[in-house]
Structure 1
């Protein structure tokens, strides 16, 4: 879940920043800040529709700063941050239930995790809750749009049950392969991948909106080799139960619920040089 699509790189040619109608000074200030940080134009709303602004400027979409959130509109879809199932999964952990991802990672308090495919950040939030204040979770996202929107959402979304876990997640905009290549050996306990499924499991407006701006490229063997260098304990990858990706990338150990449609491939670093 990462940042170019069909060969398109999202830069100033492809999107711009604006606000909702009749913005507050705070919204205008944030929109200008994002414009500077992302090196894209800020275009005042001037009572225009998003569709008209897209047509007038020739971009594929607009990042819109509203009073409630930051969104990316293409005219037919909207992408914005929300924690998804993170709250439910954390509540189940509080009630003593097992989370298959956490179990596959063997993640505990104080552990460090590098999530190489951040996406909406749901898995990173759950991992952040488990690793706690003494742990560390870093999310890598190659889509500058997803990184900016999710990074802002993690810091500002209000939910008393999971806000602290969200705020501890550190977001970095980078291709995971480049990021891994720049890290020293054994930098993180666990390195995690949740690549975008080739075809959606089910219809989801949120996932469809993200799919339009996410990186569809599959993980390669070199990336797994880099991840094994960087991890201290294990590399974990989420995929469909019968996915051929596990075999292609060298994952022989598969963890997950007996009837779960999605499972986790695990490669332990133990015994490796």
Structure 2
């Protein structure tokens, strides 16, 4: 993977791109008005993170084109702030000041909703195993600007970690977060979507392992929450007995933590 900029650059944008490249330990290459296919042929790499003044984009030449944006999270947050209940927040029973660990960050949409619900006194840690997705979302959270300052502030507060979620869970102390959350990529897509299909090309498709849930039980203070298809066998396989239904094809499984044990 290569970090570069758009055709129109500034010293500040180039420095930002160089810092991202240094952080994720991949090369920075000056664009010099070259097309990405031409850069691919010259450099032998088809994956690029492209920074511009307006957006952060991941491109795998000829296969995937994905840019950071809050997506449906923005609408969910507006509804939440107007007093309309968000089912994910209800399932996780998130309160102001909570610490939430999102083990499958993806584009960071759920992490952003959590960050708004937990407020400035809360903490949201978003774990992403795939380097391209991690770099895209980490940079996007720090630079994307919406018309709502509460959303902008929430994006800046999210702590992105590049790690396998099992490794991260094993590294954390017992009862160190309030909620551990999972939204793994569905093995069967709910529907064809112009927004989701490019994500599927770079996301981690592995099913959750029972060991992951056991580690989550050790780390969580209140609950473990799993987003899945309503009639998925994953809830039963992984020990989620309580489910909170949504109005769509999805549901949230919940494992409540008994802190007296």
When the two structures are superposed, what TM-score results if normalisation uses the length of structure 2? 0.94
The residue aligned with 2:81 is 94
The alignment's C-alpha RMSD in Å is 1.4
Tell me: CA distance 1:95–1:31, structure 2 relative to 1, closer, same or farther (3 Å).
closer
For structure 2, the 5+ residue unaligned runs are: none
CA offsets, 1:178-223, max 9 Å, x none?
0000001000010000000112222223322222221111110000
Q: Does 1:52 align with 2:41?
A: no
Secondary structure in 2 aligned to 1:206? coil
Question: Using the alignment, how far apart are the partners of 1:24 and 1:59 within structure 2?
Answer: 24
The residue aligned with 1:5 is none
**Deviation of residue 159 (structure 1)?**
1.6
Q: Does 1:249 align with 2:249?
A: no
Bigger shift: residues 186-195 or 44-53 = 44-53
Q: Does 1:82 align with 2:104?
A: no
Bigger relative CO (Cα 8 Å, ≥ 6 apart):
1
Question: Using the alignment, how far apart are the partners of 2:17 and 2:243 within structure 1?
Answer: 44
Q: Does 1:167 align with 2:153?
A: no
**Deviation of residue 22 (structure 1)?**
3.6
The residue aligned with 2:28 is 42
Q: What count of residue pairs does the alignment treat as equivalent? A: 258
The residue aligned with 2:13 is 27
**Deviation of residue 241 (structure 1)?**
0.6
Pick from 187, 194, 209 the counterpart of residue 198 of structure 2: 209
CA contact (8 A) 2:7 2:32 kept: yes
CA contact (8 A) 1:32 1:42 kept: yes
The residue aligned with 1:198 is 187
CA offsets, 1:51-84, max 9 Å, x none?
1212222213111121212211112321221001
Question: Using the alignment, how far apart are the partners of 1:223 and 1:54 within structure 2?
Answer: 38
Tell me: CA distance 1:60–1:204, structure 2 relative to 1, closer, same or farther (3 Å).
same
When the two structures are superposed, what TM-score results if normalisation uses the length of structure 1? 0.90
CA contact (8 A) 1:104 1:256 kept: no
Q: Does 1:106 align with 2:93?
A: yes
The residue aligned with 1:6 is none
For structure 1, the 5+ residue unaligned runs are: 1-14
Question: Using the alignment, how far apart are the partners of 1:104 and 1:165 within structure 2?
Answer: 20
CA contact (8 A) 1:109 1:131 kept: yes
Question: Using the alignment, how far apart are the partners of 1:44 and 1:142 within structure 2?
Answer: 27
The residue aligned with 1:184 is 173
CA contact (8 A) 1:234 1:266 kept: yes
Question: Using the alignment, how far apart are the partners of 1:187 and 1:21 within structure 2?
Answer: 45
Question: Using the alignment, how far apart are the partners of 1:120 and 1:22 within structure 2?
Answer: 26
The residue aligned with 2:251 is 263
Q: Does 1:146 align with 2:141?
A: no
Question: Using the alignment, how far apart are the partners of 1:91 and 1:23 within structure 2?
Answer: 34
The residue aligned with 2:116 is 129
**Deviation of residue 251 (structure 1)?**
0.9
